């Protein structure tokens, strides 16, 4: 590898660095928290880049700086994967929380694509699990997540978040309906009890008159 090849490869890594850094910031704004594992991977990548640059003075010692560049590239890949993991976990936990608070029926009334969103989350979780087990397909699986799932999940989550107010309204309506039903049942039960008491009283009175 000559100095021009080294510079080109280093420039490509720095472009990837900028892209990953932008993705980390987007994920942070979306989740409201920092994606720590991805930031740590950026730190490791930076260390490897510095090592490669410091060794590049001696181009004859190719193995040393070539390994450092490879490590930097791998750290950036890891950071990219960490971002995807973090987003899927965040949206999944948020959906579980909403489901526990409002119930699937209320959520679906307020946000009809709810079932599709939950299904997409489960598919993403399966892909992540598969990627962690199969290193050969890891890149392919994460690329599929990034292109085919994450944009849809993030857009769906925002719509779901906007619909949360309507979920609360649906729950209050449901509680009101249940309360009305209970009152109706209690009223009917009371009326039946009163009718039974009156009927028994009337029967007792008739027997009393008859046997006087």
**Residue 65 has which token pair?**
């700086």
Q: How far apart are CA 56 and CA 77, in angstroms?
A: 23
DSSP 8-class letter at 149: I
pTM over 0.85: no
pLDDT at 187: 67
Residue-level pLDDT at 54: 79
What pLDDT is stored for residue 2 in this prediction? 64
Query: Nearest-CA neighbor of 164 among 118, 86, 97, 88?
Result: 97
- Does residue 76 come out as left (phi exceeding 0), alpha (psi in the -120 to 50 range) or beta? alpha
* End-to-end alpha carbon distance in the chain: 124
Domain boundaries, the chain: 3-162, 166-212
Token pair, residue 123, equals: 């598919």
- Tell me the average confidence (pLDDT) per consecutive run of 10 residues in the chain, 212 residues long: 76 92 93 91 90 72 81 94 95 90 82 90 93 90 92 89 72 60 64 64 62 60
At 67 the pLDDT is 87
What does the pLDDT read at residue 88? 95
């Amino acid at each position: 590898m000559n100095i021009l090849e080294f510079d080109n490869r280093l420039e490509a890594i720095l472009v990837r660095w900028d892209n990953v850094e932008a993705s980390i910031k987007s994920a942070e704004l979306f989740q409201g928290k920092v994606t720590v594992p991805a930031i740590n991977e950026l730190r490791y990548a930076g260390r490897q880049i510095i090592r490669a640059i410091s060794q590049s003075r001696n181009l004859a010692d190719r193995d040393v700086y070539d390994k450092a560049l490879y490590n930097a590239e791998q750290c950036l890949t890891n950071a990219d994967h960490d971002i995807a993991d973090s987003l899927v976990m965040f949206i999944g936990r948020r959906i579980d929380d909403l489901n526990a608070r409002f119930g699937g029926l209320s959520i679906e009334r307020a946000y009809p694509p709810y079932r599709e969103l939950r299904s997409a989350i489960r598919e993403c979780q399966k892909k992540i699990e598969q990627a962690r087990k199969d290193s050969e397909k890891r890149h392919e699986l994460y690329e599929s997540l990034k292109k085919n799932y994450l944009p849809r999940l993030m857009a769906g989550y925002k719509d779901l978040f906007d619909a949360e107010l309507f979920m609360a309204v649906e729950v209050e309506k449901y509680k009101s309906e249940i309360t009305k039903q209970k009152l109706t049942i209690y009223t009917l039960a009371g009326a039946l009890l009163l009718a039974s008491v009156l009927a028994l009283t009337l029967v007792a009175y008739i027997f009393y008159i008859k046997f006087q």
